[in-house]
Amino acid sequence: MRVVEAALHVVRLPLVHAFATSSHSKTTLTHVLVELRGEDGTVGWGEIASPAGPWYSAETVGTTLLVAREFLLPALLGAEWDHPRAAGARWRKVRGHEFAKAGVDAAAWALWTQAEGVPLARALGGTRDRVPVGVSLGIEPTVDALLAQVQRQVDAGYGRVKLKIAPGWDTEPVAAVRAAFPDHDLHVDANGAYPATEASFAVMRALDAHRLTMLEQPFAPRDLLAHAALQEQVATPVCLDESVVELDDLRTALALRAVGVLNIKVSRMGGLSAAVDAHDLAREAGLPVWCGGMHEFGVGRAANLALSSLPGFTLPSDVSGSEKYYARDVVVPPVVSRDGHSAVPTGPGLGYAVDEAWVRENTLGRTVLALAPDGGVRVEVTPGPAGTGDPGP
């Protein structure tokens, strides 16, 4: 396999409902779609699903665009490789920048499986034709507004609902949701918003009484000791998200008994290859896992859906239907969920076609890298119809 051209499309889509977490709120999402073209004409798509600002991690749309353009794609263009893991080895020296790596890595997997004529899920080791899915709900202006959102998702058939929490928005809304939905699968996610104080531990102990599936990332990413101490005090499994970026983070968390459930995010861990490795390590340790999301467009959602078909993903993953977030997605057909499950695509590659006309219509800017006759890389940057190329929020 040899990539001869690559494009980075900065695309912005409106959300059907505003989404707020402990760090920020948003009504639109700007992600970077990665398009790789092989010398045989085969095309593979990936998605860099970084937030616009440095809230979830240090990366932003702007930093991922820079790193992909200046380091990742130049290392890949023109190189011969026979497997996506070999493609990923081309940028092994680049430290960090997992979101940028994840988009290029997923595009390499999509390109290779498309050329080989095999479904992405099968190539990753998937064993199921459909997977259970859940939804993630942001912080709402009022408890009543939250209850209305939960009811909407329950009516849509989602068996698991995740609630975002933050200091001051935790025990009261969770108690109200549990009272209204006494038997539903609920879990909470703090995105590391709580300091490791006795007051925070008291909040988590209070939440423990509501029969939650998990308490996700209550404390700062590097504070594994606080998560370990919390797990000793509560029966609810502590789930790690931002804390696990590399496999060594997971090994440390396991050794400290700081993790009871693992959220595997393709973006956070640097790609599908690393996500599969995390799945394998967790499964060997007997640790339940599920696939988290970053509100991906259909390209990233399709990759997450394929990953979720692996046998160790025993909990509902964040690969709900496209209509939950977007009135019109960038793939056709859109990802659809029925009765709390999403079907795993069986076609080659991602299993979805990219709606290139819709991508162009919503593009802020486009960067194309191609092999030059002298063996170098030619770069062309152009604004799109939706903006001037500015990748900011």
Query: Cβ neighbours of residue 95 under 8 Å, at least 6 residues apart?
Result: none
Region(s) of the chain under CATH 3.30.390.10: 3-118+353-383
pLDDT in tens, 117-171: 999 999 999 999 999 999 999 999 999 999 999 999 999 999 999 999 999 999 9
Task: Write down the pLDDT at residue 3.
Answer: 97
State percent of the chain over pLDDT 90: 89
Question: How many CA within 13 A on the CB side of residue 358?
Answer: 17
pLDDT in tens, 304-354: 999 999 999 999 999 988 888 899 999 999 999 998 999 999 999 999 999
CA distance 44 to 3: 10
CA distance 115 to 119: 10
Task: Write down the pLDDT at residue 229.
Answer: 98
Task: Write down the pLDDT at residue 393.
Answer: 45
CA distance 201 to 197: 6
Architecture of domain 122-343: Alpha-Beta Barrel (3.20)
Sign, CA dihedral 202-206-207-209, equals positive
Confirm if 299 and 358 have CB atoms less than 8 A apart.
no
Task: Write down the pLDDT at residue 136.
Answer: 92
The stretch 250-262 carries a mean pLDDT of 98
Q: Which residues are catalytic?
A: 164, 265
pLDDT in tens, 334-346: 999 998 999 999 9
Helix (H, G, I), strand (E, B) or coil at 274: helix
Region(s) of the chain under CATH 3.20.20.120: 122-343
pLDDT in tens, 200-248: 999 999 999 999 999 999 999 999 999 999 999 999 999 999 999 999 9
CA distance 72 to 91: 6
Among residues 303, 299, 350, which one has the least CA distance to residue 118? 350
Name the band, by pLDDT with cuts 50, 70 and 90, for residue 391: low
More confident residue, 264 or 391: 264
The stretch 372-386 carries a mean pLDDT of 85
Among residues 296, 313, 290, 312, which one has the least CA distance to residue 350? 296
Q: pTM to 2 decimals?
A: 0.94
| The pLDDT of residue 384 is above 90 | no
Helix (H, G, I), strand (E, B) or coil at 156: coil
Confirm if 279 and 310 have CB atoms less than 8 A apart.
yes
Sign, CA dihedral 33-57-392-93, equals negative
Confirm if 325 and 133 have CB atoms less than 8 A apart.
no
Confirm if 364 and 386 have CB atoms less than 8 A apart.
yes
pLDDT in tens, 59-79: 999 999 999 999 999 999 999
CA distance 60 to 67: 11
Task: Please tell me what DSSP assigns to residue 72.
Answer: I
Task: Write down the pLDDT at residue 76.
Answer: 96
- What's the mean pLDDT when you consider all of the chain? 94
Q: What residue ranges in 80-127 does DSSP mark as E strands?
A: none
CA distance 358 to 326: 13
Task: Write down the pLDDT at residue 23.
Answer: 61
Confirm if 47 and 33 have CB atoms less than 8 A apart.
yes
CATH class for the region spanning 3-118+353-383: alpha beta
CA distance 305 to 326: 17
